[in-house]
Structure 1
Amino acid sequence: MPDDAVPISLPAGGLAAPPRPSAEREGHSHGPARYGAAPAYAALDLGTNNCRLLIGAPLGTGFRVVDSFSRIVRLGEGLAATGQLSEIAMERALGALAACADKLLRRPLRSVQAVATEACRRATNGAAFLHRVEVETGLRPRIISAREEAELAMESCAPLLEAGDRRALLFDIGGGSTEIAWIRIPAGGPPVAELIGYISLPLGVVTLAERAGHSCFTEEGFGAVVEEVAAQLEAFDRVHCIGQEIRAGGVRLIGTSGTVTTLAGVALALPRYRRPLVDGCRLDVHVADQALGDLFALGRAGLAAHPCVGPERVEFVLPGCAIYAAIRQIWRVPTLTVADRGLREGMLLRMMRADRHGLRGAPRRYS
């Protein structure tokens, strides 16, 4: 990265001026944001279930992780029933965002971007909540579209493509929605991903857990969710002739979500979850199916005790597995590539690429 590269402007999402003392949350003190020729970039993803921060510094064509943060906040809790973010859910999210803001203000950063996804897209008070976030934490997340979610996931997973891949089918099982991206890889040269179709299903692990979570622990209930999701995928399959392309060969199935990384952890019999062993691994789908069966057989107590699940995720694992099972039912690809990466990684790669190809000049300071 050139030393005099121009950092990305942050008019729509990033870090605003620190809040006035009267607006500060108790226990948090904010100094001015530090931008300039710093080597690090930060990406924050406020999702329906999790609040995640990733700070990285460029390394070759990728980056090395400098710091990270992740907390389950369940921002979308109750949203399907009321159409609004609840006060208790917003308070949980604000606590996590304040922790992220403190991390960001402790180090020099080249650029910061923050996004909000399905919960804030759907909630009638989503925009008002994000204004409150800015006032209380100084962070300014922008609401991104489902298409941009798919594009960012595609960007982060593109390094997992290999020579010989003609197409890729990428799925991201989130808290409030599931994004499916249909990707073309042009022939010749290094793999370059091109989004040629996408669909966003209003079904995620939080929405399904609230509506059908208990029934997912029964074979009948689990099967009903699988059929519901599969019915919504069939139209997308017909439009893009995905099944036909799979039969022709050269289609890679990539999954990026807590659901598929959990399946991988179980399939690999990990005594505890280890990202380096999971990210980029390839599973025979029959092995993944067996891992799904193993998770289903554990029940609530067994899932809570499992080192790759834990008590906080018990209610979400089987709804996510039902979505995966529907994808597997519609698209019979022999192997699954598992990605422990997503929006934040895609955001970092975009910021770094923009700097590499940006206008030269003195770095701009944001405060």
Structure 2
Amino acid sequence: MRLGVLDVGSNTVHLLVVDAHRGGHPNPMSSTKAVLRLAEEIDENGRMRDSGSRALVSTIEDFTRIATSSGCEQVMAFATSAVRDATNCDEVLRKVKDASGLDLQVLEGIDESRLTSLAVRRWYGWSAGRILAFDIGGGSLEMSNGVDEEPDVALSLPLGAGRLTREWLQGDPPSKRRVSVLRDWLDAELKEPAKELRAAGKADLAVGSSKTFRSLARLTGAAPSGAGPRVKRTLTVSGLRQLTAFISRMTTADRAELEGVSADRAPQIVAGALVAEAAMRALGVDTLDICPWALREGVILRRLDSEPAGAMTTN
């Protein structure tokens, strides 16, 4: 069956079309993205501005048409922190439904963590043992620890790369003092969550998923995306520390010229590096394996697991 996964994030809206069946490996057929920066459309009262909701509605209408023309039997649409945190979230969801007919589901942070953990577990298999997983989004940081498809501990913290950039690193480039203060603040914020994760058991494998971790790994020498998803990629804390010192002195325009950093991700890659480094430091992780699967694949896998055969219909 052909499925569409529509991911409304803090920075981008992403439609992934896959061919999938229960027990099989989801096969990506197409990928379409739009940069909306919805987190920047939240006003001082916590509401998403009309300009943001209009852009979201228009994009979802376009992407729904793409999914239909691509032959998708169902579109699974979900939103994460930007929509979730908006005080007028219900109003935004209603506008999307009225315009496109699509039910946009808001994922809670802990569900993001659990679904990402599921995707990571399926990618590495049971032989990986206990997995400690990290995922950095625009609005939040997800972490989990477990030996099963349902992790023993799943956490979501408001420490996303976009959020930290807006709140801490407005300069271009950011000042050395702000970088230093943010690093210390992250250490304090991660102290208690790290204790909770460590209490679940010592990990056999530490994994980073999401575009931020893939970009950081590429910047420290990992294979490019063109080499394929099955090439082993890693990120070391020592390499990350050197990279952070380098890119934090660069302007956004200069960072956008680096291989592996897209123009829309260049503004927040410094904050992404800082939170990645802090998370690894807090958990005593020297090396992360980079997983090509993350939240979107977790959504697909959970749906395939839960739906009776033949029960899927076009949304």
Q: TM-score, normalised by structure 2?
A: 0.88
Which structure is richer in relative contact order (CA contacts within 8 A, separation 6 or more)? Answer: 1
Task: Give the structure 1 partner of residue 286 of structure 2.
Answer: 334
CA shift, 1:163, in A, is 6.0
After TM superposition, list the pairs within 5 Å mapping 1:231-250 onto structure 2: 231-242=188-199, 245-246=201-202, 250=203
Task: Name the SS of the counterpart of 1:307 in structure 2.
Answer: coil
The code of the aligned residue for 2:177 comes to E
Task: Give the structure 2 partner of residue 284 of structure 1.
Answer: 236
Q: Does 1:214 align with 2:170?
A: yes
Task: Give the structure 2 partner of residue 8 of structure 1.
Answer: none
Distance 1:90 1:218, change over 3 A: same
CA shift, 1:282, in A, is 2.5
Task: Name the SS of the counterpart of 1:326 in structure 2.
Answer: helix
Partner of residue 293 from structure 1, selected from 245, 248, 253: 245
Indicate the larger mover: 279-288 or 64-73.
Answer: 279-288
Task: Give the structure 1 partner of residue 61 of structure 2.
Answer: 98
Q: Distance in 2 between matches of 1:266 and 1:195?
A: 30
Task: Give the structure 1 partner of residue 76 of structure 2.
Answer: 113
CA shift, 1:158, in A, is 1.2
After TM superposition, list the pairs within 5 Å mapping 1:1-367 onto structure 2: 39-58=1-20, 61-79=24-42, 81-161=44-124, 165-183=128-146, 185=147, 192-215=148-171, 217-242=174-199, 245-246=201-202, 250-268=203-221, 273-274=225-226, 276=228, 281-355=233-307, 358=308, 363=311, 365-366=313-314
The code of the aligned residue for 2:194 comes to D
Pairwise CA RMSD: 2.6
Indicate the larger mover: 293-302 or 203-212.
Answer: 293-302
Q: Distance in 1 between matches of 2:253 and 2:131?
A: 36
Distance 1:202 1:45, change over 3 A: same
CA contact (8 A) 2:123 2:293 kept: no
The code of the aligned residue for 2:120 comes to C
Distance 1:232 1:45, change over 3 A: same
CA shift, 1:85, in A, is 0.8
The code of the aligned residue for 2:162 comes to V
Structure 2: state its 5+ residue gaps.
Answer: none
CA contact (8 A) 1:281 1:337 kept: yes
CA shift, 1:342, in A, is 1.8
CA shift, 1:230, in A, is 2.1
Distance 1:160 1:366, change over 3 A: closer
Task: Name the SS of the counterpart of 1:114 in structure 2.
Answer: strand
Q: Distance in 2 between matches of 1:279 and 1:77?
A: 35
Q: Distance in 2 between matches of 1:102 and 1:111?
A: 12
The code of the aligned residue for 2:107 comes to I
Task: Name the SS of the counterpart of 1:305 in structure 2.
Answer: coil
Task: Name the SS of the counterpart of 2:151 in structure 1.
Answer: strand
CA shift, 1:280, in A, is 5.1
CA contact (8 A) 1:169 1:254 kept: yes
Task: Name the SS of the counterpart of 2:6 in structure 1.
Answer: strand
The code of the aligned residue for 2:95 comes to R
CA contact (8 A) 2:280 2:286 kept: no
CA shift, 1:115, in A, is 0.9
CA contact (8 A) 2:119 2:298 kept: yes
Indicate the larger mover: 193-202 or 278-287.
Answer: 278-287
Distance 1:261 1:279, change over 3 A: farther
CA contact (8 A) 1:115 1:143 kept: yes
Structure 1: state its 5+ residue gaps.
Answer: 1-38, 186-191
The code of the aligned residue for 1:117 comes to T
CA contact (8 A) 1:43 1:344 kept: yes
Distance 1:300 1:89, change over 3 A: same
Q: Distance in 1 between matches of 2:236 and 2:265?
A: 25
Distance 1:114 1:365, change over 3 A: closer
Distance 1:68 1:275, change over 3 A: farther
